[in-house]
Structure 1
Amino acid sequence: MVSDVWAAADAYEEYVGRWSRRVAERFVAWLAVPAGRVWLDVGCGTGALSDAVREADGTVVGLDPSRGFVAGGRAVVVGDARALPFPAARFDAVVSGLALNFVPDPARAAAEMARVTAPGGMVAAYVWDYADGMAMMRLFWDVARELDPDAPDEGDRFPICRPDALADLWRATGLTGGLAVEPVEIRTDFADFDDYWRPFLGGQGAAPAYLASLPAPARTAVRDGLRARLPDGEIYLTARAWAVRGRRGGGHAPATPVRSDERADR
């Protein structure tokens, strides 16, 4: 099994971070958290979701397990989603973008997200629809599976990336207040085939890591298979994420301002 690689922020940004930014803006607007609240961004990566929170006049603390991403983005805490290094009821809103499916125990992460949320606060996340809605990756895995039936297709690996699974997880965590699951769809346009293909060579993420693990002839075969499926010139694809939101039970108790010691890497 090829391990996913999450270490180089610039390569990740070219691969999928640029598309995450578009989803993050719509996601934050959908949550409609009042301005001036204190947020936690779990699995913040290169900072797409944190940036969207700041644009909405929120104060945000980012957390990510990868020091490479922390250095390249705007994260401020290195930590594990399964054991958040914060006291209970610390934040008004706790969110996660494109990360929950990569946590070995999503249920434990969701429970931790709820624990550090103030009563009545928002807990929300979004993940790519790898099975049906993320066309740039779906095309890659379809070709890879034709050449290698054992290729680690993200659509199979991450059953949580479906609306029913997300809703069930939030219910099991007790986040039933205002529970909702919605699709967030964007366009992913590429100038030409090279613009589409080049990000897969950066080694960041599941598909690029798998590609990097292949011998050169196999990599060429994947490239040729994709080239045959895509048009000449500009390429217009779509991407869909599933977003889930719910509130922690109890009345609202605004979180306290972010302390200076929560702004430094740990």
Structure 2
Amino acid sequence: MTDVWSAGDAYEAYVGRWSRAVAAIFVPWLGVRPNARWLDVGCGTGALTAAVLILAEPASIVGVDSSAGFLGTARNRVTDPRAEFYLGDARELRLASSAYDAVISGLAINFVPEPGAALTEFARVAKPGGVVAAYVWDYAEGMELMRHFWAAATTVDPGAERFHEGSRFALCHPDPLRALWTGAGLSDVVVDSIEIPTVFPTFADYWQPFLGGQGPGPAYAMSLDEPRRAALRDELRSRLGEGPIELTARAWAVRGTR
């Protein structure tokens, strides 16, 4: 099974909408002055880019992502003329050095095969004194909608544990994030938590996004045959009930200065 990142609308229904809530807290936390030039690496469907446009009064923002499908959704959703979107690799940004006041990334750095190479690029394209920052889900503990999913999945199929983001992404903890940022030569590094409510009116509202196939959990669900997927659904329903389902999601946010 491989992670799938292609259908922007399905990703929005799964976690894109929750990323928007985190971004609304993350952007003001950065304290970037108005009229700055921003770069959003791993911009996905444009959740973080849209928050910058609304909250930070940027002069411009460039979004870069490796998924053409996600970029198509971003271009449709974010039509502000200050925003541009390009296909690209976080490890090899085809952008000028020392060009951006703020280089940011939302829910993406842990999926880059070489995060150290990506951070080197983030620092390269940031201006001296510029902000380099990101946020990732606390997969192991605080991202409850995913934690409940994988707890149910491993009950039905113990082999599912190897796909669990909490097991796969050691980076998504404060100490590894701090080490990654300082290792890229950034100073004044700070790591903090951002917690948001994730409320589902019914169990169907919780379950349906997992059928979209975008990201590790949904990709795992859709890799199952129908009887095993039904068993997973029923195990989740027994744990969460019919609704409303009131959960929380925690992200780790990190920022530093070039």
Q: TM-score range by the shorter chain?
A: over 0.9
Distance in 2, Cα, partners of 1:37 & 1:202:
36
TM-score scaled by length of structure 1: 0.91
Q: Secondary structure at the match of 2:159?
A: coil
Matching residue within 108, 113, 118 for 1:109 = 118
TM-score scaled by length of structure 2: 0.94
Task: Report the equivalent of 1:203.
Answer: 213
Matching residue within 129, 134, 140 for 2:138 = 129
Task: Report the equivalent of 2:108.
Answer: 99
Distance in 1, Cα, partners of 2:47 & 2:172:
19
Does 2:240 align with 1:230?
yes
Provide Cα deviations, 1:106-136, integer angstroms capped at 9, x if missing partner.
1110111001000010000000000000000
Aligned length: 246
Distance in 1, Cα, partners of 2:243 & 2:2:
33
Task: Report the equivalent of 2:68.
Answer: 67
Task: Report the equivalent of 2:186.
Answer: 175
Q: CA deviation at 1:232?
A: 2.8
Task: Report the equivalent of 1:148.
Answer: 157
Task: Report the equivalent of 1:86.
Answer: 95
Distance in 2, Cα, partners of 1:165 & 1:186:
22
Q: CA RMSD in A?
A: 0.8
Task: Report the equivalent of 2:15.
Answer: 16
Provide Cα deviations, 1:17-73, integer angstroms capped at 9, x if missing partner.
000000001000100100110000000000000001111211210000000011111
Q: CA deviation at 1:90?
A: 1.2
Q: CA deviation at 1:147?
A: 2.0
Q: Secondary structure at the match of 1:187?
A: strand
Distance in 2, Cα, partners of 1:38 & 1:89:
11
Mind listing any 5+ residue stretches in structure 1 that lack a counterpart?
249-266
**Aligned-residue identity in percent:** 58
Task: Report the equivalent of 1:253.
Answer: none
Provide Cα deviations, 1:71-97, integer angstroms capped at 9, x if missing partner.
111361000000001011011110000
Q: Which amino acid aligns with 2:3?
A: D
Mind listing any 5+ residue stretches in structure 2 that lack a counterpart?
76-83
Quick one: higher RCO (CA 8 Å, sep 6+), 1 or 2? 1
Provide Cα deviations, 1:198-248, integer angstroms capped at 9, x if missing partner.
000001111000111111111011101100001333110000000000000
Matching residue within 140, 147, 161 for 1:138 = 147
Provide Cα deviations, 1:141-184, integer angstroms capped at 9, x if missing partner.
111112222211110000000011100111111112x2100000
Q: Secondary structure at the match of 1:181?
A: strand
Structure 1 residue runs of 4 or more that deviate by more than 6 Å after TM superposition: none
